[in-house]
Amino acid sequence: MNGHMELLYWQLVYSFVRRQYRIIKVSNGPNEIWLESFHHQNIPLIRIVRYDIDWSSWLKRDIEYAWRVAEQVKRRYMKRTVQVLNIYISTYPPVDDWEFLVEKPLPFSRDARAALRTVFIHSANVPHSLQQISEQIREPITLPSLERDEDPFLAAEHIKRQALQLTSEQQEREKRLFEYGRPIFTYAFIALQVFMFLLLEWKGGSTNPAVLIEYGAKFNPLIQEGEWWRFFTPIFLHIGFLHLFMNTFALYYLGTMVERLYGSWRFFVIYLTAGFFGTLGSFLFTSSLSAGASGAIFGLFGALLYFGTVYRYLFLQTIGMNVISLIVINLIFGLVIPGIDNAGHIGGLIGGFLAASVVHLPRHRAWNKQVVSLFFTSCIVAAALYAGFR
């Protein structure tokens, strides 16, 4: 094995990791690493292979394999024009004709902008190949030279440890994002809504309109008469056991996640603001009596969507597609099934997103954006209240 090519392999890997690419797959025989980044829209996915290739037939089969894998992975980017860079590092080129295999990109669809592009690096074309890679990722690739008496295998091992250590540190930072707070208010809100349900049942039944109105359900005529607290009290009331069970189940799973992500006091603000927006949306667009935590729970979805705007790559790699799918499914149910207050759901979703943009994420400071978000949110509330009370 050529030590200089082994060093080049790990130098390239380390260079990409420093550019906010993350290692998503490592395999041996041949050495193969896949990296991805949601920060680099032009080339979000890179594959690097270190293998001394003798024949072009092997290269052809492997390019086809890379194309199939990339076709599956690229779906997570939710865009059609994904470029994938496939890099081979070999001491010598294949002994037979091979250039035609890498001259043109291998498209994923009819759109030529979505394709697998291959760069073949061997000992005689390193500068030219690095220039090709630089043009693809639109950033200059410069690799340090080896000292005269330095062992390339030892240097490669050192760079390898640095790359893996940097990747480990990235993963640890990302893990800490989901472990900032403890779900204190989540459990408190669950206990409160269960207590209120039992109280309603004791006082005459949680499905009794008179009981619901007495204990604070959303009732437009009373809100218009000045009972403003009814924008908040419906969050903790539920109509029937099934309604309570579904919302408690959702609050347990979503609430613990969002409270760990944002911390307790931010979660408190997000939940109540989303609940207020949910009631406000229902107040503006429906006249029926209503109650429930659904608007606030949709606000937790909104807070997760806001997290996705700050950490798009991490959001899409972890919970993103599940969150988006659940939002779409629930909104469709609200349109198809009668009796579901979709206006409250959409209001809560918007409120949760706006509240998250105001309080922002822990350990983040973006005062200008937060002030703008607060002003924008206040304007929306003022306009909605004016429209509802005029």
Checking DSSP bridges between strand 115-121 and strand 106-107, what pairing results, if any?
Answer: antiparallel
40 given a catalytic annotation: no
Q: Which of 129, 206, 282, 294 is catalytic?
A: 294
240-261 burial: b if 16+ Cβ within 10 Å, else e: eeebbebbbebbeebbbbbbbb
* 89 DSSP β-pair partners: 50, 121
- Contact present, 305 and 354 (Cβ < 8 Å): no
For residues 315 and 322, give the distance between their C-alpha atoms in angstroms, rounded to a whole number: 10
Neighbouring CB atoms inside 10 A of 371's CB total: 11
How far is it, in rounded angstroms, from Cα 67 to Cα 45?
Answer: 12
Q: Strand 115-121 and strand 83-89: pairing?
A: parallel
**Which burial class, exposed, middle or buried, applies to 180 when counting CB atoms under 10 A from its CB (0-12, 13-18, 19+)?**
middle
Q: Give Cβ neighbours of residue 228 (< 8 Å, ≥ 6 apart).
A: none
Q: Supply φ then ψ for residue 147, to 5 degrees.
A: -65, 150
Q: Considering 40, 243, 345, 360, which one is annotated as catalytic?
A: 345
Specify whether 145 is catalytic: no
Active site residues: 294, 345
